[in-house]
Amino acid sequence: MKVDKSKWGKSSISNCCNIQLGTRIVKKQTENGSFPVYGGGGATFTTNTYNRENAILISRFALSKECTRFVTGKFFLNDSGLTIIPKDQSIIFDFLKWQIFSLNDKIYALARGAAQKNLDMKRFPLLPIAIPTLKEQQAIASELDAIQTMIDGYKRNFTDLDALAQSTFLDMFGDVAINDKSWDIIPMGQLGDFKNGLNYNKGEKGKTLKIIGVGDFQNLKTLTLFDNIPSIEVESISQEYLLQNEDIVFVRSNGNKNLVGRCLEVYPNKEEVTFSGFCIRFRKSADIVNKYLVALLTDTGFKKVHILKSNGIGIQNINQKLLGNLPIPVPPIDLQKRFAMQVKAIEREKEQIRLQLTDAEQLMAERMQYYFS
């Protein structure tokens, strides 16, 4: 849809919207219920009452870079967030939602404070709001809603395929946390060797290579493309720090304990890739199938029982000794290979969905920029 933005009306949040602050609520002072409690971030706990429904939510205290969101259904908004609604019929709610999303970075830029970023409530209401005709607003909102529905569908398909892989693993190998199928157990240290990651000086000059850090793990289990992996320069590097196909890299240390113990298998092929000092590399030397081993190491139950142990103050850690002592159930190799074939088929489907999702997200970014830049 083509629009002439020069003909759009101009207003501000304070002139066209009502700003509604949340209400203080403390977890220990309320009973668990069916309504999620939202603040500046996501849902934190539940309660038995609600004060919002289908609302545009903006962080007020402790802002993160994603400080705007739309929450569907009934929920309780605490005092670390606020919601906005149109004052009158000159602006449609669904159009306002998308315009607020387009202002996310400007809202975050209004945050003040060092230890905790809080929204500047004097400047926030002055942010500009464009007012197209009601017909244009409805058309724009419908278009963007349709793209978002497509994006959400791809994400659900992605989640469904992950669940299929997990259920296939459970069906074939049982509860690996307790080894209820009584597979032979071999300590991981007997299946290969470990190497802590590279510590380097940022000012070094010399050889350029890619380096995998904690931020590159995300929710991946396999890494084959390194275009978005950062590069460093080092004067020289030992071969033992260069990753090979089928190496498994772990997050060794991080302030967020949810990241510690994450792992992914890497396939750098001919590209020179290393790994940071906050990581540990495992390189197998025994006959075990990588897809099985990675699925085992990322199994929620196995991680909870055997990996998620901390020995640091403030920073959560794992080390080579802990990993080397992990009790790895080792099913027959033919069964492992059969599982790997099924996982590869699922990954091919996921790759197709990933490409479709990328295209849809790119389309959303382009349309948002066209309408609101």
Q: How many helices (H) and strands (E) does the chain have?
A: 8, 22
- Of 131, 164, 198, the position where a domain reaches its end is 131
Higher per-residue pLDDT: 69 or 42:
69
Q: b/e string for 195-214 if b means 16 or more Cβ within 10 A?
A: bbbbebeeeeeeeebbbbbb
- 109 & 161 share domain: no
Residues 223 and 160 in one domain: no
pLDDT at 31: 79
365 exposure class (CB count in 10 Å sphere: 0-12, 13-18, 19+): exposed
- Res 365 pLDDT > 90: yes
Mean model confidence pLDDT for the chain: 93
Neighbours of 370 (CB within 10 A): 13
Instruction: Residue 364: give its domain's CATH number.
Output: 1.10.287
The confidence score (pLDDT) of residue 337 equals 97
The verdict on 212 and 244 lying in the same domain is yes
Question: Residue 210 is encoded by which pair of tokens?
Answer: 């890619």
The residue among 113, 110, 105 whose CA lies nearest residue 124 is 110
The boundaries of the domain holding residue 213 are 184-328
Q: Are residues 85 and 212 in the same domain?
A: no
Q: Is residue 215 part of a domain?
A: yes
Query: Average pLDDT for residues 234-246, to the nearest whole number?
Result: 93
Same domain, 198 and 312: yes
Confidence of residue 57 (pLDDT cuts 50, 70, 90): very high
pLDDT tens digits for range 11-41? 999 999 999 999 999 887 787 899 999 987 7
Q: Is 272 found in the same domain as 311?
A: yes
Whether residue 279 is contained in a domain is answered as yes
Would you say residue 1 lies in a domain?
A: no
The pLDDT of residue 271: 93
DSSP code per residue over 82-129: EEEEESSTTS-HHHHHHHHHHTHHHHHHTEE-SSS-EE-TTTGGGSEE
CATH code: domain of residue 324: 3.90.220.20
Return the pLDDT at 200: 85
Mean pLDDT in residue range 60-72: 93
* End position of a domain, from candidates 112, 131, 150: 131
Predicted confidence (pLDDT) at residue 312 exceeds the cutoff of 70: no
Judge if 14 and 124 occupy the same domain.
yes
Q: Does residue 310 surpass a pLDDT of 60?
A: no
Q: Are residues 147 and 200 in the same domain?
A: no
Residue 3 covered by a domain:
no
Number of domains in the chain: 3
269-284 as b/e: b if 16+ CB within 10 A: eeebbbbbebbbbbeb
Task: Return the pLDDT at 308.
Answer: 78
Residues 87 and 152 in one domain: no
- Checking if the pLDDT of 331 tops 80, the result is yes
Tokens of 258: 């949810």
Residue 126 in any domain: the answer is yes
Q: Is residue 113 part of a domain?
A: yes
pTM, 2 dp: 0.82
Average pLDDT rounded to a whole number, residues 122-147: 97
**Local confidence band at 179 (pLDDT 50, 70, 90 cut-offs):** very high
In this prediction, residue 315 carries a pLDDT of 54
Report the C-alpha gap between 371 and 74 in whole angstroms: 30
Contacts of 237 (CB under 8 A, 6+ apart): 198, 207, 209, 274
User: Residue 222 corresponds to which tokens in the numbers above?
Assistant: 């396999």
Instruction: Identify whether 227 is part of a domain.
Output: yes
**Whole-number pLDDT of residue 309:** 63
In this prediction, residue 87 carries a pLDDT of: 96
Residue 94 has which token pair? Answer: 């669904």
Residue 2 within any structural domain of the chain: no
Mean pLDDT of 288-305: 94
Same domain, 259 and 231: yes
* Co-location of 193 and 313 in the same domain: yes
pLDDT digits (tens, 9 = 90+) for 338-353: 999 999 999 999 999 9
Give the pLDDT score at 32: 83
Last residue of a domain, one of 70, 99, 131: 131
CB 223 within 8 A of CB 273: no
> Is there a single domain that holds both residue 63 and residue 126?
yes
Identify the pLDDT of residue 37.
94
